[in-house]
Structure 1
């Protein structure tokens, strides 16, 4: 029967929250952007119906999904601030990635809708009023520029923020297309330019949607970050960290953007140096691969089926948790 000795630190007031940094700022950015986009979406729908422009209606549809994406983003940050509990030990941070994934899916849906409507317009051209179309398109362009500027200030590396920004960027390009179409129709009367530019913009949206889909799905599938692939970690630890004889069973994944975790087995050159080796490995993972939470298991030399010493390190905290288990074959506590 094994015994365990855990060194608790309950008397210290440390924050174990894994919530994203600058959450308050992100929330304000997203809420302001949502208000601007939702308000102008209504204006653009009215303008599209009055002018008969597909480009405006497509842009209004995109703005509708922008508003939904921003609402999801806001909800994601609110949920992300909730503390971890017994069932969700990392809190609700993964909700942020789910929101980014949904954003990507809605972008694909927008592209399908725009292409379908454009085909319909080619079959049955509509009369388009260039004056109202141009006025609304210019106003929409200015609103999108403002919202994109707001979203890209400060912290913009989260999947969630990038997803919302990509929505707005696609909408901004849609506004450029609408302005161009309105100018061409005003001076030439050539209405097919309206659905043509709508399709061109949809292709640009498709590229952004694919990149976002791949990234968010990679996180959801527990994929290793590009800068922390297992083979890179093994090579660095065995070559650059003194006292490391071998590294195995490496698992690396992200909970959300910028929050990388890892578990691995390390065999020290000498068992007597085990404590120093673990500390050196954790520091290397944090500094070289930006892994903020690492669980390192020790494989002892010349022994099998012995217990391991695990030690977790969390960046930003001035303490660590140690677990020491009793080894009956040695009749002593393994430290």
Structure 2
């Protein structure tokens, strides 16, 4: 008779703090960065209009996405801190991933609009007050260094906070490009430098946006964490004593830095299912930092234990989800 264990690794820690996150500290640093960004953005929009500088307006638009990303991060932190209950069995931890998606999409959309405006100005550059652009950009560098420092103090292992940090960091680079453009216009009168600086800002925005969409998209599509090969994990589990088959193996990420694994494991008839499960979970935790592991361990039928590896795709379950990994019938 088959003995079944559907066991969880219960050593998941005490919520957010178990993963090195201090939500209160994160909120404090994010709020400081938000105040710096909003205050300077208002100044920059005013100066950009007066100076007729698209580079400054582009930077201000980028700062608007910075502010939105920080606001979304603050909302997501609050939502993610709510305990799991009802039908939301993981709580609202994925809120930060949705926030990262929104950040990435906003960067791409705004970048497209600014690219159009910059290309238009390359053909018909207006007169731009280079001195105002240079002074404002230098002030923006100082403000962005302060905001980036504040965000660096928060938990950047969170994709949500990292998204906000990337916004600020890209804006810092953009201000440097704008300062260079302002100096060029001030000392040479080359008005197209303003549009060129705007295109540099756009390139930074698109790069950051694509990165955020890619990383958050992997999580939403339940892909295995970067650097983890599910087939290699299955082979490693199969190499352990008494294990004859691993199927329904899934590795995904609940939210930033919270990978999880589930699998159905079959062991030799007569083997101690509980002991095998403990050994496998120890292996996953110590070797791969997979602490959220759910393993269902059953005894294999005698017929299954003798089956040829070339028939491995048939599987133990009627409808296996993914490849069936089976050891050689002669290994044990």
Cα offset for 1:224? 1.0
Cα offset, 1:139, TM superposition: 0.6
What is aligned with 2:132? 132
Q: Higher RCO, 1 or 2 (CA under 8 Å, sep at least 6)?
A: 2
Deviates more, 1:114-123 or 1:60-69: 114-123
Structure 1 unaligned runs (5+)?
8-13, 306-335
SS in 1 for 2:100: helix
Aligned residues: 295
Matched residue SS, 2:265: strand
Question: Could you tell me how far 1:304 is from its partner in structure 2?
Answer: 9.0
**Matched residue, 1:23:** 23
TM-score, with length taken from structure 1: 0.82
1:229–1:252 Cα contact (<8 Å) kept? no
2:141 is equivalent to residue 122 of structure 1: no
SS of residue in 1 equivalent to 2:264? strand
Partner of 1:251: 250
- Contact 2:6 2:294 survives alignment (8 Å): no
Q: Give the secondary-structure state (helix, strand or coil) at the position aligned to 1:295.
A: strand
Indicate if the aligned counterparts of 1:270 and 1:301 stay in contact, CA closer than 8 A.
yes
Q: 1:6 to 1:113 in 2, by over 3 A?
A: closer
Determine if contact 1:82/1:92 at 8 Å carries over to the other structure: yes
CA RMSD for the aligned pairs?
2.3
Do 1:137 and 1:175's aligned partners in 2 also have CA atoms closer than 8 Å? Answer: yes
SS across alignment from 1:294: strand
> 1:123/1:5 Cα in 2 relative to 1: closer, same or farther (>3 Å)?
closer
Q: Which residue does 2:163 correspond to in 1? A: 163
Distance 1:235 1:114, change over 3 A: same
CA deviations 1:110-167 (Å, max 9, x no partner) are 2112111112212332111122211111110111112112222363111101111111
Q: Deviations over 1:176-228 (max 9, x none)?
A: 11100110011000100110121123112212221111110010111111233
Write out aligned runs for 1:1-335 (5 A): 17=15, 21-153=21-153, 155-239=155-239, 241-302=240-301
- Secondary structure, in 3 states, of the residue corresponding to 1:248? strand
CA deviation string 1:13-65 (max 9, x = no partner): x9764675222222222111111111111011011111111110000000011
1:190–1:247 Cα change, 3 Å: same
For 1:44 and 1:234, how far apart are their aligned partners in 2? 55
Contact 1:96 1:160 in 2 (8 A): yes
Deviates more, 1:144-153 or 1:161-170: 144-153
Instruction: Give me the whole-angstrom Cα distance separating, in 2, the residues matched to 1:217 and 1:199.
Output: 26
Q: Which has the higher strand share?
A: 1
